[in-house]
């Protein structure tokens, strides 16, 4: 299990996946370095009525209160906080997840651009050989999107679209969210009990 995970929220739909993943990582005792874009603030408010303050210190205080009973450690960094540890290859996280991942962020990383801390952190993770997981929420996908994903996959990134399975007979929206988050946690080798494993129970008639 990774000790430190960088988690980034960007401006794609799918914020419930990212927020649930944050909760699960903290519940597992991970140190989470949280980043989020300006558009992610809008999406969080629209999809979850969740306020992510522009100031990282205010966001950290708010989220620490929200998750005060969980054993993990939360750090929040601003978009231009270039002295953050994850901006340098000398102090990279064990893994990074961008969830949800916008096509703009994905394209910037694929082209090696790093004008924002999220992009720079991803660049560091790739060059240092750590695991990068991208959860792109877009449909349909253009040839440009697919080529960018292929380029990142060839560089070692995991492309994990948030496609829930239905063989577990989900009853709530939360079940669909947990299915995707469980797949992300599996990639990180973080133990969880969000779903039953295929083959562990008899299939429904």
In contact, 10 and 35? CB cutoff 8 Å: no
Residue 195 lies in a domain: no
Domain total of the chain: 1
Residue 204 lies in a domain: no
29 annotated to a ligand binding site: no
Taking all residues of the chain, what is their mean pLDDT, rounded to a whole number? 95
Q: Which helix (H) or strand (E) holds 66?
A: helix 56-66
Beta strands in the chain (DSSP E): 4-9, 31-36, 73-76, 95-101, 131-136, 158-159
Residue 201 lies in a domain: no
pLDDT at residue 202, rounded to an integer: 56
121 annotated to a ligand binding site: no
156 annotated to a ligand binding site: no
Q: For 37-76, how does the pLDDT look when each residue is reduced to its tens digit (9 = 90+)? A: 999 999 999 999 999 999 999 999 999 999 999 999 999 9
104 annotated to a ligand binding site: yes
According to DSSP, residue 79 is labeled T
Report the pLDDT averaged over residues 90-119.
97
Range of the domain at 180: 4-188
pLDDT at residue 203, rounded to an integer: 52
Q: For 127-151, how does the pLDDT look when each residue is reduced to its tens digit (9 = 90+)? A: 999 999 999 999 999 999 999 999 9
Residue 38 lies in a domain: yes
Residue 196 lies in a domain: no
Kindly tell me if the per-residue pLDDT of 178 is higher than 70: yes
Residue 41 lies in a domain: yes
Residue 199 lies in a domain: no
102 annotated to a ligand binding site: yes
37 annotated to a ligand binding site: yes
Q: What is the CATH number of the domain that holds 22?
A: 3.40.50.1950
Cα angle at 29 between 28 and 35, to 5 degrees? 95
Residue 90 lies in a domain: yes
């Amino acid at each position: 299990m990774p000790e430190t995970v960088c988690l980034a929220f960007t401006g794609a739909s799918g914020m419930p996946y990212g927020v649930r993943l944050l909760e699960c990582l903290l519940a597992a005792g991970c140190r989470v370095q949280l980043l989020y874009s300006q558009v992610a603030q809008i999406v969080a408010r629209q999809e979850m009525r969740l306020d992510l303050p522009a100031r990282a210190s205010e966001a950290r205080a708010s989220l620490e209160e929200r998750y005060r009973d969980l054993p993990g450690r939360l750090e929040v960094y601003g978009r231009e906080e270039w002295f953050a540890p994850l901006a340098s290859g000398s102090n990279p996280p064990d893994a990074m997840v961008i969830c949800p991942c916008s096509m703009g962020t994905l394209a910037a990383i694929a082209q090696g651009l790093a004008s924002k801390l999220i992009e720079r952190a991803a660049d560091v993770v790739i060059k240092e050989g750590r695991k990068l997981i991208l959860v792109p929420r877009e449909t349909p996908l253009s040839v440009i999107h697919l080529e960018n994903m292929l380029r990142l996959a060839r560089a070692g990134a995991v492309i994990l679209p948030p496609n829930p399975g239905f063989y577990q007979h989900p009853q709530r929206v939360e079940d669909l969210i947990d299915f995707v988050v469980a797949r992300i946690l599996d990639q990180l080798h973080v133990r969880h009990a969000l779903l039953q494993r295929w083959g562990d129970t008899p299939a429904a008639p």
